[in-house]
Amino acid sequence: MRPLLTLIVLLPLAGFLLNGIAGNRLGKRFVSVVGCGLPILAFAAAIQCLIDLTAAGGSPRIEIAYTWADIAGSKFEIAFYFDRLTAVMALIVTGVGSLIHLYSMGYMKDDASYARYFAYLNLFLFFMLLLVLGRSLLVLFVGWEGVGLASYLLIGFWFEDPDKARAGKKAFITNRIGDAGFLLGMFVLYQALGTLDMDRINTAFMATTAPAVSASLVGILLFIGATGKSAQIPLHVWLPDAMAGPTPVSALIHAATMVTAGVYLVARLSGIYLHAPEASAVIAAIGAATAFFAATIAVVQTDIKKVLAYSTISQLGFMFVALGVGAYGVAIFHLYTHAFFKACLFLGAGSVIHALGGEQDIRKMGGLARRIPITFVTFAVATAAIAGIPPLAGFFSKDEILWFAFASSRGGAVLLYVTMATTALLTAFYMFRLLWLTFLGGSRMTHEVEHHVHESPVSMTGVLVVLAVLSSIGGFLSIPHYLEPLLPMPEAVPALEHLETPLLVLSIVIAFAGLALAAYLYGGDGARATALQRRFPGLHRVLSGKYFVDEAYDRFIERPLYWISDRVFLRLSDRALIDGSLHGLAALGRRTAGGLSRIQNGQLHLYALLVLIGIVFSLAWSWRHV
């Protein structure tokens, strides 16, 4: 068998090395061909793997690329694993990844660090594929850390601006906190099972004799890792700041692929979570809370990318709710539709920013629909998709999540449903608000900006069109059904089954209600929205301050840490104790030497006298002791 899986992973790595080492010397044409060509090849290889998988009837394909270490019988291998779940993930990563690479050619064409950009983007793709294809948690973890690194490099891509560099650091450090939980989970698992291969872990937990480890403990530890990577409460603070990176990066890493790694992890280890109702309840609760709070924040944001960032956090919350109620396939389904429409939204936002020469504030936009029609149409399609308007992709996945939040026998609850339905309403509302403020109504641009507005080049709009088409038809591909042999769906509570159709109608109503509300408030000159804002100044302040989570972290974690580091570790330990004792020793030596050197005054007689005294003393000493 050809080593196709290894090839998928190594192609982007080759792109990174070629572009990173030689890209600057060989010119933009070479960088573009390598940077976009290799991901597309990886996509083709992934399709070939999918065809092989279908031909093999869905039995997983395992490739052992390299044996890392063989310690007393326990092997650590770099092995790749390809089943239906991997297939979905790998196709999303390489497919959306390739599209965004193509888009970047247009978006970044005037940037001085063109080669560096594509090198980083390929590096990200390499690590992401390692994460998705890895068979063992160890390989997954390498990818997990690697995407964190790539994310850091790309957020701080314009590192001359200290704010952007700081955003990169914040993302990296926040992720490290989650990684600590992830590592602990891995240790516990290895201690109990003696293996880190995820298929074996699932088998061990599904066996009749349960392994000697608490599934909930492992589940929660690994979920802490997932909260970091997937920006869930309380580690969600890095994602909005991550918007400092170039917009295609936000689309690829911080919307479509990397942030969904946590969802993938939980779905991949569904064997554990099926036996951990407590951990699942925690996941559902955190997911719901994150979805709701992020959606409320998104309602008042004025930066086009920040709105989308909070929307991403909120949608990730939806996915975690699905995971928490046992509907793993549905979570992956939402991940898949979300990848299309959120990538389309971000790239559309990129196109808007490009057209306006860098303006990101939606209060200074408006009336762009006629000026950049292709961007407008694709953006509108994606907005309708995320809002859940049928028959676009988001409708199917979101409706299934709502249904299972309500009726799943694995933790569905009315409260969960109400929260998620409210969030869905908010989602529809803030997305249409964004659409309205950006594209419709009167222009609020300055004259100078307005003069420059232009539609983006074909390499950008083409990608937008492809993604918009995928956002509209993607929902007809039933991913949960496809994954069912691997990730069985939870049973619906029988007594609630007759409510399925009414709830379906209700979610359609919710989507249109959001649309209507946005149209009512922001239609015309937006006076009603301003009035509403005046009516509740306190609420508006809290929401636009993002519930002051950053400030609270600063107050209660950062400053005490800084204080301890500064006072205790730096001033007391380092400067006073360590430096002090060393300086003290040095001073003692110097002073003693200064005193003794006064004896050497050049008087031969004194020397002779001292020699005499020395001799007398040593003679006397040896007389007594020998």
Partner 1 sequence: MLIATSWGLFALGLVGVIVRRNVLIMLMCMELMLNGVNLSLVAFAQQTATSAGAVLVFLVFVVATAEIAIAIPIVLLLARGKRGGLDLGAYADLKG
- Pick the closest to residue 245 from 353, 344, 173 (CA basis): 353
**Residue 171 structure tokens:** 């993302």
- Check residue 618 for interaction with partner 1 (CB under 8 A): no
- Shortest spacing between CB 173 and partner 1, in angstroms: 59
**Helices 162-193/215-229 angle, 10° precision:** 160
Which of 601, 622, 624, 626 is close enough to bind partner 1 by CB under 8 A?
A: 601
Distance, in Å, from the CA atom of 2 to the CA atom of 210, rounded to the nearest integer, reads 37
- Residues 133/80, Cβ–Cβ less than 8 Å: yes
- Shortest spacing between CB 610 and partner 1, in angstroms: 10
Which of 447, 605, 624, 625 is close enough to bind partner 1 by CB under 8 A?
A: 605
- Check residue 29 for interaction with partner 1 (CB under 8 A): no
- Shortest spacing between CB 605 and partner 1, in angstroms: 5
- Check residue 209 for interaction with partner 1 (CB under 8 A): no
Q: Which stretch binds partner 1 (CB under 8 A): 148-156, 258-266, 556-564, 605-613?
A: 605-613
- Shortest spacing between CB 586 and partner 1, in angstroms: 24
- Shortest spacing between CB 603 and partner 1, in angstroms: 6
564 CB neighbour count, 10 Å cutoff: 12
Q: Which stretch binds partner 1 (CB under 8 A): 30-38, 86-94, 126-134, 603-611?
A: 603-611
Which of 552, 586, 609, 620 is close enough to bind partner 1 by CB under 8 A?
A: 609
Beta strands in 250-388, from DSSP E residues, in sequence order: none
Q: Which stretch binds partner 1 (CB under 8 A): 74-82, 85-93, 366-374, 606-614?
A: 606-614
Q: Which stretch binds partner 1 (CB under 8 A): 139-147, 208-216, 424-432, 602-610?
A: 602-610
- Shortest spacing between CB 606 and partner 1, in angstroms: 9
Distance, in Å, from the CA atom of 51 to the CA atom of 380, rounded to the nearest integer, reads 34
269 by DSSP, 3-state: which? coil
- Check residue 620 for interaction with partner 1 (CB under 8 A): no
Distance, in Å, from the CA atom of 204 to the CA atom of 185, rounded to the nearest integer, reads 16
Examine residue 234 and say whether the peptide bond preceding it is cis (omega within 30 degrees of 0).
yes
**What binding mask, one character per residue, do residues 37-56 give for partner 1 by CB under 8 A, x or -?**
--------------------
- Shortest spacing between CB 611 and partner 1, in angstroms: 9
Which of 612, 614, 617, 620 is close enough to bind partner 1 by CB under 8 A?
A: 612
User: Nearer Cβ to partner 1, position 605 or 624?
Assistant: 605
Distance, in Å, from the CA atom of 401 to the CA atom of 288, rounded to the nearest integer, reads 11
Alpha-helix runs per DSSP H in 82-214: 84-107, 114-133, 137-155, 162-193, 198-206
Distance, in Å, from the CA atom of 405 to the CA atom of 411, rounded to the nearest integer, reads 8
Which of 604, 622, 623, 625 is close enough to bind partner 1 by CB under 8 A?
A: 604
- Pick the closest to residue 339 from 128, 169, 572 (CA basis): 128
Cα atoms in the Cβ-side hemisphere of radius 13 Å centred on 522: 26
**Residue 140 structure tokens:** 């997954």
- Shortest spacing between CB 601 and partner 1, in angstroms: 6
- Pick the closest to residue 129 from 172, 168, 121 (CA basis): 121
Beta strands in 244-327, from DSSP E residues, in sequence order: none
- Shortest spacing between CB 615 and partner 1, in angstroms: 10
Distance, in Å, from the CA atom of 286 to the CA atom of 185, rounded to the nearest integer, reads 19
User: How far is the CA of 376 from the CAs of 38, 116, 428, 431, in angstroms?
Assistant: 31, 31, 17, 13
- Pick the closest to residue 344 from 264, 460, 246 (CA basis): 460
Chain residues 261-280 in contact with partner 1, contact rule CB under 8 A: none
User: Nearer Cβ to partner 1, position 414 or 615?
Assistant: 615
- Shortest spacing between CB 563 and partner 1, in angstroms: 54
User: Nearer Cβ to partner 1, position 209 or 601?
Assistant: 601
- Pick the closest to residue 122 from 190, 192, 20 (CA basis): 20
Cα atoms in the Cβ-side hemisphere of radius 13 Å centred on 337: 37
- Check residue 608 for interaction with partner 1 (CB under 8 A): yes
- Shortest spacing between CB 626 and partner 1, in angstroms: 20
Distance, in Å, from the CA atom of 279 to the CA atom of 562, rounded to the nearest integer, reads 33
Cα atoms in the Cβ-side hemisphere of radius 13 Å centred on 144: 26
- Shortest spacing between CB 624 and partner 1, in angstroms: 21
- Shortest spacing between CB 600 and partner 1, in angstroms: 6
- Shortest spacing between CB 571 and partner 1, in angstroms: 44
- Check residue 600 for interaction with partner 1 (CB under 8 A): yes
Distance, in Å, from the CA atom of 339 to the CA atom of 407, rounded to the nearest integer, reads 26
Q: Which stretch binds partner 1 (CB under 8 A): 272-280, 464-472, 565-573, 596-604?
A: 596-604
User: Nearer Cβ to partner 1, position 447 or 605?
Assistant: 605
Size of the site for partner 1 (CB under 8 A): 9
Which of 602, 622, 623, 624 is close enough to bind partner 1 by CB under 8 A?
A: 602
User: Nearer Cβ to partner 1, position 64 or 620?
Assistant: 620
- Residues 15/122, Cβ–Cβ less than 8 Å: yes
**What binding mask, one character per residue, do residues 550-589 give for partner 1 by CB under 8 A, x or -?**
----------------------------------------
Query: Alpha-carbon dihedral of residues 192, 193, 198, 201, nearest 10 degrees?
Result: -90
Which of 74, 478, 603, 618 is close enough to bind partner 1 by CB under 8 A?
A: 603
User: Nearer Cβ to partner 1, position 495 or 604?
Assistant: 604
User: Nearer Cβ to partner 1, position 22 or 612?
Assistant: 612
* Residue with token string 């940037």: 111
- Shortest spacing between CB 599 and partner 1, in angstroms: 10
**Residue 177 structure tokens:** 């906190």
Distance, in Å, from the CA atom of 161 to the CA atom of 167, rounded to the nearest integer, reads 10
User: Nearer Cβ to partner 1, position 597 or 622?
Assistant: 597
Q: CA 120, 182, 334 angle in degrees (round to 5)? A: 70
Q: Which stretch binds partner 1 (CB under 8 A): 3-11, 178-186, 328-336, 597-605?
A: 597-605
What is the length of the chain? 626
User: Nearer Cβ to partner 1, position 577 or 608?
Assistant: 608
- Pick the closest to residue 521 from 445, 438, 432 (CA basis): 432
Binding site for partner 1 (CB under 8 A): 600-605, 608-609, 612
